Amino acid sequence: MSQLWKKNLINITPYVAGEQPENSRIIKLNANENPYPPSPMVEKILRDKNAADLRKYPSADAVPLKKALARRYGVREENVFCGNGSDDVLAAAFRAFFNSDKPVFFPDVTYSFYPVWCEVLKIPYETKPVNSDFEIDTKDYYEENGGVVIPNPNAPTSIGKPLDIVIDLLEHNQDCVVIIDEAYIDFAPDGFSSVGLIEKYKNLVVTQTFSKSRSLAGMRIGMAFADPELISYMQAVKDSYNSYPLDQLAIETAAASLSDEKYFAETIDRIKNTRDEGKKILRKMGFTVLNSDTNFLFASHPEYSAKAIFEFVRENGVFIRYFNKPRIDGFLRITVGTDDEMSVLYKALEKFFESVK
């Protein structure tokens, strides 16, 4: 056969996600998953669900979830967009809002899916280097551009910023859409979220996810908050690609999670305590650890290679994340697990230091 059809194949380099080992005895601190189960209300949904309903299509606009989110975040239903994980939400936003010949700006050290979407969607982009403390300088984003996307807190650096940084970005970027990716916001101090700014800034999109703070990574649920006009464009993109991205159980488990804020606050507190304790312990071991406003720690060691440490603890049954990338290849990204899981990690690290003495 001629195989001439191969000339029409797409040419892309896909994103590579964290390993998902099948062995359940491995301690997974490599995907920023929540170590605690979702609210018991979620389990109740699964027990009570009438499976016969599954024969019907879900609500195309995830209406029950939009209502629950509007209630929880003090916005209107028209301010909310829901998608199949915040990756789906962010990709829809890129598609809807980044249609300029000018480059979209984002930090050089950030979520590695941004350049992938730009390439796939043929969006020109330019990265703005974070400084040596891995901090963003807002002045880098004052130039003319086709859009701005910044995570707050940033990943994998774990650094969160108060709202004045976001307001500065918005004040200097009124001719493009600004996306603030808040995947980790629930682990940051109160008042860091930009959701309250969408009323004033009509060009602001704030994205969040149920995968981290709400322990529902397995259900693929993400959302955006913005002015109704922006939401309508994201909706148009979604409706032109896949009308029903969120299945019935994703909609229902997410709404159930939102109905149990007490549980939510408790698990967030536990994770923050373990994180702050972990920072101290790692620093005592000689690590440089950035101040984290997320559910992970970003740490490097002045004497030993991150790759060597990564491989050693991996052989000892603990998966953490190492990025073989410029600027951050000296760092490890460690998801905050339970106190017990962290103890196993600390022991593995001590064993490493013993082995290299």
Could you say which residues in the range 80-139 bind a second copy, by CB under 8 A? 84-85, 87-88, 91, 95-100, 116-117, 119-120
Q: Is residue 152 classed as helix, strand or coil in its secondary structure?
A: coil
Contact positions with a second copy (CB under 8 A) in 17-46:
17-18, 20, 28, 31, 33-38, 40, 42-43, 46
Phi, psi dihedral angles at 247 (to 5 degrees): -80, 170
- The yes or no reply on residue 253 touching a second copy (CB under 8 A) is yes
- How many residues can be counted in the chain? 357
- The yes or no reply on residue 219 touching a second copy (CB under 8 A) is yes
- For the bound state, the minimum distance from the C-beta of residue 316 to a second copy, rounded and expressed in Å, comes to 21
- For the bound state, the minimum distance from the C-beta of residue 93 to a second copy, rounded and expressed in Å, comes to 10
* Residue closest to 325 by CA, chosen among 184, 157, 211, 161: 157
- For the bound state, the minimum distance from the C-beta of residue 108 to a second copy, rounded and expressed in Å, comes to 20
CA distance 324 to 269: 32
Q: Which is nearer to a second copy, 4 or 190 (CB)?
A: 4
Q: Is residue 179 classed as helix, strand or coil in its secondary structure?
A: strand
Pick one of 110, 138, 158, 203: the residue that binds a second copy (CB under 8 A): 203
Give the interface segment with a second copy, choosing from 215-223, 272-280, 292-300, 347-355 (CB under 8 A): 215-223
- The yes or no reply on residue 4 touching a second copy (CB under 8 A) is yes
Q: Which is nearer to a second copy, 55 or 357 (CB)?
A: 55
Pick one of 162, 199, 236, 315: the residue that binds a second copy (CB under 8 A): 236
- The yes or no reply on residue 55 touching a second copy (CB under 8 A) is yes
- The yes or no reply on residue 142 touching a second copy (CB under 8 A) is no
User: What is the contact mask toward a second copy in residues 315 to 344, using x (rule: CB under 8 A)?
Assistant: ------------------------------
Pick one of 109, 188, 216, 348: the residue that binds a second copy (CB under 8 A): 216
> Tokens at residue 150, please?
């910044």
List of long-range contacts for 113-120, beta carbons under 8 Å, 24+ apart:
113/15, 113/87, 114/149, 116/12, 116/13, 116/14, 116/15, 117/90, 117/91, 118/94, 119/12, 119/13, 120/12
Contact positions with a second copy (CB under 8 A) in 57-76:
57-60
> Tokens at residue 19, please?
């390993």
Q: Is 21 exposed, middle or buried (0-12, 13-18, 19+ CB in 10 A)?
A: middle
| CB 159 within 8 Å of CB 153 | yes
CA distance 301 to 334: 13
Q: Which is nearer to a second copy, 251 or 309 (CB)?
A: 251
